[in-house]
Structure 1
Amino acid sequence: MKTGAIRLRKRSVAQATLHTVVMMCLQGRNEIIADDCEVHIVVADDGHCTVTVSLVMKPEAPLLLLCQQIQKHIAEEIAFMTPFTVDAVHVVVKRLDI
């Protein structure tokens, strides 16, 4: 029986670098379950990028304030550590870990 191969889209070096920066920003935050985070990055040819982070958070965290802090921290770190310009950082709370 022949099985179908799954074609995985390989990340570019730019996407891998940005992914690493984003994950560094999320590490050490007690309000986030880091193992359940998903990061999607779109990099344009002109050096602009859009980051979408899907998080699982603990319910005692002040959600709105924490999401705003994460957005700001990710945008600042990408600007500081890479030559990319951040157009937007979208933070999505997938669920609360109760």
Structure 2
Amino acid sequence: MKTIVRFRKLSATQATLLTIVMMCLKDLNDIVIDDCEVHVTIEEDCLCTVTALIVIKRGVPIISLCEQLQKHITEEIEAMTPFTVDKVHVVVKHLAM
């Protein structure tokens, strides 16, 4: 899995948020983990925005999987950290064979 953060150094906060998002992606068997990218931006007011670029296996209902992933990421971050998730963007890069 490719992990991209828009900061020069990876802070403990960023590493924690990225780890939580990666765990959420690994929970779903319909996602090809090796081709995914995750971007996390952190605001000053304990807000974060997550963008996940994912590859989905062919034949999986895309909309319901993306909605499930958005909900799962939001719930996990808010349960494990003091952050509030502002947005979770899920972008399907392509479908895997």
TM-score (norm 2): 0.89
2:33 & 2:64 partners in 1: Cα distance? 18
- What is residue 75 of structure 1 aligned with on the other side? 74
- What is residue 59 of structure 2 aligned with on the other side? 60
* CA drift at 1:36: 1.1
Gaps of 5+ in 2: 1-6
1:25 & 1:42 partners in 2: Cα distance? 17
* CA drift at 1:9: 2.6
Gaps of 5+ in 1: 1-7
Of Structure 1 and Structure 2, the greater strand share is in 2
Q: Which secondary structure does the structure 2 equivalent of 1:46 belong to? A: coil
- What is residue 14 of structure 2 aligned with on the other side? 15
Q: Which amino acid aligns with 1:71?
A: Q
Hey, which bits of structure 1, 4+ residues long, moved more than 3 A? none
- What is residue 89 of structure 1 aligned with on the other side? 88
Rg larger in 1 or in 2?
Answer: 1
Q: How many percent identity over aligned positions?
A: 58
**Deviations 1:5-32 (CA, angstroms, capped at 9, x unpaired):** xxx9322221110000001111132210
TM-score (norm 1): 0.88
